[in-house]
Structure 1
């Protein structure tokens, strides 16, 4: 179940080339593919790190997971453990 809109549980995730090289490289590649930068070198020079605001959820009997805040606000969220849709807590 998603958190109520007034019970936001945030966490900030920082992507860097040293600490999270796979996720960091995927983000850099995305920026280049979207045409934001002409090449990887320029993208890395302008973006030594990325901070992403996420919301924390706990799927009972499975575990904790995080979802980028923008995705929570704009779409349907599925548990990565059970594959089930997370119910919206604000809907009765």
Structure 2
């Protein structure tokens, strides 16, 4: 799933029997289609292999999205603070 931090909405998702790069790309593309973000969008993720893939990289490059990844040593920079 793709979560829009600003609106606090899930804006993209995809489901299948197996997790793979295509699934992550479908969710990202759905989020892009639904929200139509301006240039300068930052996509933050962990270091999962699907987020390092050429497919996701191409999608982000086509849509002018900047990739951001959290630190490998700790999960806390990926956590969004609750209100």
Answer whether TM exceeds 0.5 for this pair.
no
More helix by share: 2
Relative contact order higher in (CA < 8 Å, ≥ 6 apart)? 1
